[in-house]
Structure 1
Amino acid sequence: MSEQELTLKKMILQATLLSNLEFLKNAMPTIYDAFKSFQPIDTGVAIDDNGNENLFNNGQFAYSENPRDLAKNQVAVFLDNPIYSSYDIKHSSDEHITFKHAALLKSIRNVRNADTGGKIPKPTNESRLDFICFLGGGLGYQIEELLNTKNVLNVFLFEPNPSSFYALLHCIELKPLFDKCMNQGGGFTITVGGDEFSAVNQISALLTKQGHFNLSIIHFFKHYDSELITKTMKSIKEFGHRWHAGWGFFEDETIGVSHTLSNLHAKFPILKTAYSFKNPLKKADVFVVANGPSLDSAIEFLKENQHNVIIISCGTALKALLINNIKPDIHVEMERTAGLSNFVEVVDRTRDITIKLSDLNIVALNTVYDGILKRFKTAYLLTKMNDAGGLLIRRLDKRNKYSYPMYTNPTVTNTGLAVATELGFEKIYLVGTDFGFVSQEYHHSKDSIYFDSNFEHKEVVKDNMQTNMIVKGNFKEEVFTTNIFDSSKSGVELLLQSKPYINAFNTSDGAFIKNTTPKHISDIKIKNKLINKGKKITALLKTASSREQLFDSNINSHIDEVKTKLKVFLEQLLGLTPPNFHTREQLAQAFSEQNKMLLEMQHKDETVFILVQGTFKYFQTYIMASSYYYSDLDKRAEFINSCINAFNEHVNDTYIEFIKYYNKPAKV
């Protein structure tokens, strides 16, 4: 290469950098600020002996061949043998399906599989790829090549090395790629630096913005191997299920509103904000007891020390404690269906238990069936966030008097820990909070309802415990877990992270929990005495709760406002999806418009948003994912329109049920 050609190439590289910085200044100002005066370390772009732009890293060129040719080859390999994730649902057997949404989702699966044989054809054969994650940017030629070869809706680029990304800024023009995605209604997102969790979190944010239906198929394009890229792929596999966890359904929210109204009419007090009262027991040793297998090894300790510690029992751990004559100071429940009664009332049906429900205090989420709460000596409510009933309480709370903790889902362990922290306790031991198991046959305490000879859901529970998921253990190297256990563990970790003043110990022989200290139950020594513990707990619960502002007239006024807005909103949403789609791309556009409306409603009226958002997310994602099974585009269009028609009818039907039953006892 002549000196003149070399000079020209360098000028082009510099011009490309300046063009990209100008683009980033407006489109991605945070990245612009990081790179406007950036000085690379050990890595940069240079012209190699063959006259090609190349990545120069630690004294040598990274690419042994022309980087542009390499990019073309990588794209060809990717299109021929793509790496991707696909969204699917684990359906219950017909006899265990209670809700209409579950029946309809399963019918979509049945039709899809009958039509197609239940296999997805190569998704890169699609005319448009809706979501691609580029892991490692290099010089970016593979991104440019793929977007020139295929229409792409959403791009996520994760480049761990800032110096490498700075080199990329010299080589490809980002604005045309960005515009291609944006002009189709998609997005182009870039994350530079950080750890593997940065990528997972940014993908989650992109899904929220662009619509979770983009989960249907996600492509992963790995440009180069590195320890961090490998960790990122592993984290996506481990934690990607959290992107679609806990959306809820309209039918669930109807039950939650019904139970919330019943509980307010029953005048159960609501826990207040922690700073509005004093807890004289805040330094006491508090044991949050869940129903994991390791509870069995903690029973003797709890029995010996129960008079000098505070015990908060979570859900089905109650029977295991009471059958061993251990009386919890506070019991906690969170499931919304009335069917929870069977799991609670087993206490009164078990002959060897002398302590009754009427001897106990309960704190439950506002969604729990009032018929259960009335069985206890005293009952208190904890407001559930991201819940229509909880948001109703918040609308009534003009003085910000009540507590609104995050991370109370998806299991009762999350609620139990939230109760402990909202009451102001500062030293907490986690017992039976395994969030996993060593043996899939030994998944809960053997003294709990799950191992009763007459327990009718044994096969369902056994099926739910079948898993290949493995996580780091608390005392063992690794343990099995499930999606829901892992999501629950994440909630515990985030709650403790938000309250760094809490000293938390994990005694369970299950999953390792961040922000806790592993501690064998046998190593715990209780030194303090608790005098008149029962009276002090009773006084604390009364001091920590209130019923102010919860007047029936205010409740009815807010409900009427929600009903009016909800009707108009659903008409607008369903107006975007008349069943006359010809392509999957048209469907994606309609779903994108619905998602924008949902996000706008989240800011305008969160109660209306929460009522319907989960149903739309689940059905959008499942219908879109199922459409990929059809290679015959005419049959695909027919399937899409049939699904949309059934979904629209389902939403209308569920709305009518909400209007009829929101203030009536729940049906399930």
Structure 2
Amino acid sequence: MTTPSLEQQISNLSSKLSETLEHKQREDKFAIEANERFSKNLACFEKYYQEIAQAIKDYQTRDDFCIHVTSTGHGNFFPKNIDAPIYSDDPIAQTQEQIEVQTTHAVYSLTDYTGYPQDDMDTRIHSRYMTALTRHMCDVRTENKSSIKVLPDSFPTAIIFGIGLGYHVPLLLKRTHFDYVYLIEPEFEQFFASLFCTDWFEIIETVDEQGGCLFFHLGIDHKSFMDDIEKISEDVGAFSLVRSFCYQHTPGQTLNTLIQKWCSDYFRFQFGHGFYNDAVTGLAHSIHHLRNNAAILSKSPTGLDFDTPIFIVGNGPSLDSAEEFLKNNQQNAIIIAIGTSIASLHNKGIQTDFHVLVERPYSNYKIFGDILPSEEYQKVNLLGLNTLYPDTTKRYKWAGIAAKGSESGTCLLNLLSQIHLSQGLPLIPYCNPVVANAALSFMLFMGFRNVYLFGIDNGSQPCGTHHSKDSIYSQSEEDGSEGYLSLKFDGKALEGNLGSYVISNDLYIVAHAQLERLISHYNATSCMNVGHGAKIQGAIATPTDNLIDLKKPLDKVSVIESIKQGFFEELPLDDVEEKFIAVDKLQDVCEHVLAISREDVDSRKVASEQLRRQARFIYSLRDTSLAHLFHIIKGALLYYHCPMITLLYQYDDEAFCLEKYSELNLLWQQYVEEIRDDYAMNYDRTCDLGKEI
């Protein structure tokens, strides 16, 4: 090997020294810019996102926290417990390459709107217009147009998984205009580091000036992420999620789990918005509950023994294994029957104390009149939601009604309560979609914590039956057994309470998630989930064999009366004045929506803005004295606007999308016109679904 000459060695050392000096200069320049950027970012977050600003101020960095400066003068970062930096030596070029790949081969969320049931026999307004919508979407699909591959220059929503140091966000927003942007970063440290590298203050102020929405989801896990998304969907509208460009910036197991959770739970944002007929019926039933002088939940818990054993009994197959325990202990606990389990308990010789019901259709009212003798109902107290068919309350010894959240009737009752009682009504949380949710919500709201859950299975074991053997349901469609047909479980799975798993469906998966949220909301650590149903996070998994008979005698009459007197009272009025019904105001609302919808559109972006203006007008009613009108039209708007925004951005051919959008827009206008005209005639008409006319 030839030894370098002295001149060569000096030259090499000089070159290295020069590189070191240049790098030192880059670091000094970056440090000045980064600190100034951090200060501007923090000030901006203090203006727009106070909670995030406080989290930034409170954040304690690890000892080896460091932003490394690359040869291109940009920051780079080694995440905690990771031996490699997030980026290469040129983060911007790397990010630009990533954006090019992910926007030219874009991944989108997409809902199929061709599967809504087409029932020409159902003459309700919503059913007719959903049938028409479904047929329109089916016709569109037969055209076989090419779907959008490359992300266009405007798109409804971006869901960005991974913030890293944030380099991709301004580049992506410069390329495409989004109405809604969701930024998801499970590692708060990375977001904190990005404050030194990305001009968030420019991004936030630009989005604000454009009238867009920017949502940060920082330091979250998959559960809190879905909770956040559901809350935003409720506050802003599901149309902010149904057509989304999905972008992953950084790798990582936590982020991958979040993406998987988003994909598996996406169905929650596609349906279940409520709809006009549901909303106007709920309003009518609330009005009739007032006319019937029903006792309304209006007080907070006082003076109760919250250790009182509460048995909430569903109709799942695991109920049968607890039959002996329930019989032996029925005098030592309050028995809460949910839905059809009242018949199963009656057949087992167990007396119900409270029956919980929530359904609004007349057909449900009729079924319950058929499954139990009328004299038996006179021994039982009812707990129901204000959506309940109003004649139901007349069957029982006593009836108490709670206001259900996100309901037109609830908004009206709450307004009347503020006027006549000088207080709003309490809303029991997470009380839907099924009656088990309402029952547990009632009991936890009242303060009871010694709660046993029986037969609340949210599914069935793989080879098991779907209900108790004493239920009103046929055990099998194939074996010719008598009874009502039950809702089918369609193969989706939930973890089993005592191991294995149960077969479920979308409805019960949502109900199951709501039970878990409810227990978490109240930090109820002593709820016992008995038997082989689905595992409920936060509840104590309890085999039937482990149950110990209750020895403490219970003065049931006293407890029941304390519940009635302690929480419920009648509102001091017999009817609702027309000015509060606001027929004329609904007509004005509908006319304004129609006026916007009739404006000419010549591009996807203009059409998208047309939808957004309608939605923002409707959502502006939400926290006003006209909030009940918001719920009257909100569901219809979501059920039409979600497919309309999807259709606008589904196919490459923009002219085709606009043509089909215009056709669907005409249906939407007709729907709004029918709502406008129907409300004046039917705001107090009770549900007749299932009634022979």
Shorter-chain TM-score bucket reads 0.7 to 0.9
Aligned equivalent of 2:413 = 393
Matches within 5 A, 1:359-438: 359-397=379-417, 398-399=420-421, 400=423, 403-438=426-461
Residue pair 1:366, 1:381 contacting (<8 A) in 2 also: yes
Structure 1 residue aligned with 2:311: 287
Asked if the contact 2:298–2:426 (Cα under 8 Å) also holds between the matched residues in 1, the reply is yes
| AA at the equivalent of 1:600 | S
Q: How far 1:98 sits from its partner (Å)?
A: 5.7
The equivalent residue for 2:592 is 572
Task: Choose 1 or 2 for highest CA Rg.
Answer: 2
Cα separation, 2, equivalents of 1:358 and 1:320: 17
Name the aligned partner's letter for residue 137 of structure 2: R
Give 1:539-550 correspondences, 5 Å limit: 539-540=561-562, 542-544=564-566, 546-550=568-572
SS of the counterpart of 1:216? coil
Q: Tell me by how many angstroms 1:183 deviates.
A: 4.6
In structure 2, what is the Cα distance between the partners aligned to 1:120 and 1:328?
59
Structure 1 65/467 Cα, relative in aligned 2: closer, same or farther at 3 Å?
farther
Are 1:315 and 2:339 matched, yes or no?
yes
Q: Cα deviation per residue 1:258-291 (whole Å; 9 max; x = unaligned)?
A: 222222222232234233x5446x4332111112
| Matching residue of 1:647 | 668
Contact 1:133 1:220 (8 Å CA) reproduced:
yes
For the structure 1 residues 140 and 529, does the alpha-carbon distance in structure 2 shift closer, same or farther, using more than 3 Å as the test?
A: closer
Question: Structure 1: how far apart are the matches of 2:104 and 2:463?
Answer: 38
CA change 1:450–1:128 in 2 (3 A) is farther
Deviates further, 536-545 or 487-496 = 536-545
**Residues 285-339 of structure 1 deviation map (CA, whole Å, 9 limit, x = unaligned):** 2111112232232233223332332211111222222222222111110011112
| Matched position secondary structure for 2:533 | coil
Distance 1:178 1:627 in 2: 27
CA distance in 1, matches of 2:546, 2:167: 58
Q: Residues 665 and 177 (structure 1 numbering): CA distance in 2 closer, same or farther, change over 3 Å? A: closer
Q: Does structure 2 conserve the Cα–Cα contact (< 8 Å) formed by 1:131 and 1:214?
A: yes
CA 1:239 to 1:328, structure 2 compared with 1: closer, same or farther past 3 Å? Answer: same
Answer yes or no: is the 8 Å Cα contact 2:37–2:197 preserved in 1: no
Q: Deviations over 1:331-373 (max 9, x none)?
A: 110011112124313414xxxx897334332221122112333
Residue matched to 1:610 = 631
In the other structure, the counterpart of 1:301 is 325
Name the structure 2 match of 1:528: 551
How far did 1:601 drift?
Answer: 1.3
Partner of 1:475: 498
Match 1:581 to one of 595, 601, 605: 601
Give aligned-pair identity as a percent.
23
Corresponding position of 1:491: 514
Q: How has the CA–CA distance of structure 1 residues 148 and 428 changed in structure 2, closer, same or farther, with 3 Å as cutoff? A: same
- For structure 1, which segment, 312-321 or 573-582, has the greater mean C-alpha deviation from structure 2 after superposition? 573-582
Residue 355 of structure 2 aligns to a residue in which SS?
Answer: strand
1:6 and 2:6 equivalent? no
SS in 1 for 2:528: strand
Task: Provide the C-alpha distance between the structure 2 equivalents of 1:445 and 1:74, rounded to a whole number of angstroms.
Answer: 55
Aligned partners of 2:297 and 2:401 also within 8 Å: yes
Q: Which runs of 5+ in 2 are unaligned?
A: 1-17
Q: Are the equivalent residues in 2 in contact too, given 1:581–1:640 (CA < 8 A)?
A: no
1:110 pairs, out of 126, 135, 139, with: 135
Cα deviation code 1:582-609 (max 9, x no counterpart)? 3332222122223332332112222222
- Label 1:385 to 1:330 Cα distance change in 2 as closer, same or farther (>3 A): same
Question: What residue in structure 2 maps to residue 92 of structure 1?
Answer: 117
**Is the Cα contact below 8 Å between 2:271 and 2:639 reproduced in 1?**
no
Gaps of 5+ in 1: none
1:37: how far off? Answer: 8.8
Q: SS of the counterpart of 1:138?
A: coil
Which amino acid in 2 is paired with 1:643? L
Q: 1:153 maps to what in 2?
A: 179
Is 1:19 aligned to residue 37 of structure 2?
Answer: yes
Tell me the amino acid that sits aligned with residue 685 of structure 2. Answer: K
How many residues are paired up? 655
For residue 505 of structure 1, report the CA deviation from its aligned partner: 1.0
Q: In the aligned structure 1, how far is the partner of 2:650 from the partner of 2:512?
A: 34
TM-score (norm 2): 0.85
Question: CA offsets, 1:168-221, max 9 Å, x none?
Answer: 333333344445544543233333323334433444455456543122222222
With 191-200 and 34-43 compared, the bigger mean Cα shift is at 34-43
The alpha-carbon distance between structure 1 residues 338 and 59, as it changes in their structure 2 partners (threshold 3 A), is closer
Q: What's the RMSD between the two structures over aligned residues?
A: 3.2
- In structure 1, distance between residues paired with 2:296 and 2:214: 44
Cα distance in 1, alignment partners of residues 497 and 535 from structure 2: 4
* Cα distance in 1 for residues equivalent to 2:501 and 2:342: 28
Q: Distance in 2 between matches of 1:650 and 1:636?
A: 21
Change (3 A) 1:527 1:163: closer
2:623 alignment partner, SS class: helix
Q: Distance in 2 between matches of 1:360 and 1:152?
A: 55
Kindly tell me: are residues 272 and 411 of structure 1, through their superposed partners in 2, closer, same or farther at Cα, counting changes over 3 Å?
same
Query: CA, structure 1 residues 85+494, in 2 after alignment: closer, same or farther (shift >3 Å)?
Result: same
So what's the TM-score if we normalise by structure 1?
0.88
CA distance in 2, matches of 1:241, 1:614: 16
> How far, CA to CA, are the matches of 2:133 and 2:381 in structure 1?
44
- Structure 2: which amino acid aligns with 1:113? C
Counterpart code for 1:70: Q
